[in-house]
Amino acid sequence: MAHEKLHVPLSFEEIMQRHEREIMRYLLRVSGDREDAADLFQETWLRAYGAYPRLEPESKVRPWLYAIATNLCRNRARDGARRARVIVSDNEESLAGNTIGRHHRSFDENEGYAAVHVRDLISDLPTKQRQALQLRYFAGLGYREIAVAMGCSADSARANVSQAMRKLKEMW
């Protein structure tokens, strides 16, 4: 009987350290608003902490975190809060304002408008297609990870993304 190996899961701090950047980035892209993203960021980690003991030690943390973040974004959108705004048009003062401003000026006017337009189109997509698209293009998740995050099969994740893409192209 050798039981030298204990399977104590990663501490929550470690998980936060590993994933806080990508989660913040994802929330910024999805919400398009810094204050919203900050709220969602906090809420995501609080929920994740509460649910962490119930996450099976073998399951993947990344899609699980994105599932929480995605559901929170959906709830916020459903609760009719705010309409998505584009980050580049956000002139709010903040620590990082200068950096974004500089980029903004160098942005082609048309491109800025196109981004707003695309964001509007995305927010009009059916929920599942929108989520799958955001997880694919904003978070860079693979279809299998999207499947875990959305609780569906990898095939239907792929289908959702491609249907979303087709619709966007039609509406464009």
Query: By the criterion CB under 8 A, which residues form the site for another protein?
Result: 1, 3-9, 11-12, 20-21, 24-25, 28-29, 32, 34, 37-38, 41-42, 45-46, 49-50, 52-54, 57, 86-88, 94-96, 99-100, 103-104, 107, 110-111, 114-115, 118-119, 122, 133, 137-138, 165, 168-169, 172
Q: How far is the CB of 91 from another protein (least distance, A)?
A: 14
Q: How far is the CB of 74 from another protein (least distance, A)?
A: 18
Closest C-alpha among 171, 34, 131 to residue 89? 34
**Alpha helix locations (H) across 52-126?**
61-78, 97-106, 109-123
Closest C-alpha among 140, 151, 159, 129 to residue 67? 151
**Alpha helix locations (H) across the chain?**
12-31, 34-51, 61-78, 97-106, 109-123, 127-137, 143-150, 154-171
Q: How far is the CB of 56 from another protein (least distance, A)?
A: 8
Q: How far is the CB of 63 from another protein (least distance, A)?
A: 20
